[in-house]
Amino acid sequence: MEFITISFSLFILLSTLFLFKSSVAGRRKNLPLPPGTLGWPYIGETFQLYSQNPNVFFASKVKKYGSIFKTHVLGCRCVMISSPAAAKLVLVTKSHLFKPTFPASKERMLGKQAIFFHQGDYHSKLRRLVLRAFTPESIKNIIPDIESIAVDSLRSWENRLINTFQEMKTFTFNVALLSIFGKDEVLYREDLKRCYYILEKGYNSMPINLPGTLFHKSMKARRELAQILAKILSLRRETNKENHNDLLGSFMEEKEGLSDEQIADNIIGVIFAARDTTASVLTWILKYLAENPTVLQAVTDEQEGIMKGKDDKSLTWLDTKKMPITSRVIQETLRVASILSFTFREAVEDVEFEGYLIPKGWKVLPLFRNIHHSPENFTNPEKFDPSRFEVAPKPNTFMPFGNGTHACPGNELAKLEILVLLHHMTTKYRWSMVGPQNDIHYAPFALPQNGLPIRFYPKKMP
């Protein structure tokens, strides 16, 4: 009898839960989709997006439909969102309902087990290991080495016409290798560089893996990179048992149990995340400083002040905390340039949002650039004005490093290497831009026209 009563109660409970779930699901199904158009079958509105600056496409949609709208680009149905509250919901509060998503070819190139493509326990473990290697405590030890990379780079540009972005890529690549391998990689640096440069050429190519195609060469370079990494791993296992403070040391800790393949995928992933992003921000900073001589003077004065107050000329972590004007220039550059205009997520189930349905499987794109360029969030948003950061921005309106579970774990390192380079650059060098500078290129990060060619000179010392 007791058994029958328990079974009956369980049956009632489960039925109620089921009915509740289906009524919620039913209610969701009846919700309207966000406003907007889906364009032509299959190609959707891809042509409209790429026939102009993509930001013009986003801005005109926001003007027409408001902060949430639907579209269909690159074969995917998408919901684009540009309100700070919506971005917070997707990236933070309800992040479990929106998984990161990338085309399969990009996953193959970077490695399926890299941090970006995961959720849940495996992602949390990787994130803890990556964050540990990039805390202020860990990176402050490598300031002298970052400084010597910066000094060598600047010296190699003296009295030359340089392509700023290309040179910045070399600088940020060398800093990334330093933060990943410490000084262990010196032997392999040129091989790593050669393979990585071939790999990246295939990143935006058609994913056709036939001999002769960019994608094929790129996959070959990917395999060679994994072999070099395997050599570095075994060398460290054989010769060097002590604890290392770098990313490789963090990944190799025995109790963490990462396979060599997982380590390789994540190292290639971190190089990818660290290099072009930081290099394009640096390129924009040089452009904005050249266009705003008063700001350049204020930064130079601040950096000369740091140099004068020191007997020992090398920079310390504390010095980098005494650079408020330069730090605001970095913040304002991150806002105006918004080098990552948006990011991608995918709804893992039907989601109700602001009275609309976001159907399962649809892509969801938080539009960082629109949030950073909205007059509701920043007055006179197109103006480069670092002083606006004397007051903290409104919550969730400034997200150059993303937000929530996948927010950038390398942001402290990025800011540190930029400050170190700017210190030496503004105190010892001057530069002038060459050629037209009005266009923006997307490669895929936003970049000044032609990578910003400049002439670079040492200052005449008094």
Q: Give the residue ranges of the annotated binding site for heme.
A: 408
User: In 3-state terms, what secondary structure has residue 142?
Assistant: helix
- Alpha-carbon distance of 275 to 430, in angstroms, equals 24
- Give the shortest CB-363-to-ligand HEM separation in angstroms: 12
As a whole number of angstroms, the distance between CA 458 and CA 157 comes to 9
Q: Is 400 in the site for ligand HEM (CB under 6 A)?
A: yes
Is 113 an interacting residue with respect to ligand HEM (CB under 6 A)? Answer: no
Quick check: 130 binds ligand HEM (CB under 6 A)? yes
The answer to whether 143 contacts ligand HEM (rule: CB under 6 A) is: no
Number of H helices, E strands in the chain: 18, 12
Shortest distance, position 118 Cβ to ligand HEM, whole Å: 8
Q: Which two tokens stand for residue 416?
A: 């540190």
Upper half-sphere CA count for residue 158 (Cβ side, 13 Å): 11
Q: Residue 221 interacts with ligand HEM (CB under 6 A)?
A: no
**One-character DSSP codes across 370-409:** HHHT-TTTSSSTTS--GGGGGSPPPTTS--TT--GGGS-T
Of the two residues 344 and 457, which places its CB atom closer to ligand HEM in the complex?
Answer: 344
Residues β-bridged to residue 431? 456
Q: Can you tell me which of 68, 340, 367, 447 binds ligand HEM, judged by CB under 6 A?
A: 340
| Contact stretch for ligand HEM (CB under 6 A) within 24-32, 54-62, 382-390, 405-413 | 405-413
Range 1-60, binding ligand HEM (CB under 6 A): none
The separation between the first and the last C-alpha atoms of the chain, rounded to the nearest angstrom, is 100
Interaction between residue 278 and ligand HEM (CB under 6 A): yes
Q: At what angle do helices 143-157 and 411-428 cross, to 10 degrees?
A: 50
Q: Among the candidate windows 201-209, 220-228, 404-412, 421-429, which touches ligand HEM by CB under 6 A?
A: 404-412
Give whichever of 130 and 146 is closer to ligand HEM, judged by the CB atom. Answer: 130
CA distance linking residue 99 with residue 107, whole number of Å: 14
Q: Contact 357/350 with Cβ under 8 angstroms? A: yes
The answer to whether residue 347 forms part of the interface with ligand HEM (CB under 6 A) is no
- Does 277 interact with ligand HEM (rule: CB under 6 A)? yes
Check residue 381 for interaction with ligand HEM (CB under 6 A). no
216 binds ligand HEM (CB under 6 A): no
Binding site membership: which residues?
408
Tokens 């970052």 appear where? 146
Site for ligand HEM in 408-437 (CB under 6 A): 408-410, 413-414
Task: State the binding string over 160-189 for ligand HEM (x if CB under 6 A, else -).
Answer: -------------------x----------
Nearer to ligand HEM, 122 or 457 (CB): 122
Q: How far is the CB of 403 from ligand HEM (least distance, A)?
A: 7
| Closest to 353 in 3D by CA, of 101, 99, 93, 89 | 89
Question: CA-CA distance, 210 to 302, in Å (whole number)?
Answer: 54
E strands within 8-129?
68-73, 76-81, 98-100
Name the site residues for ligand HEM (rule: CB under 6 A): 100, 115-116, 127, 130, 134, 179, 270, 273-274, 277-278, 281, 339-340, 343, 400-402, 406-410, 413-414
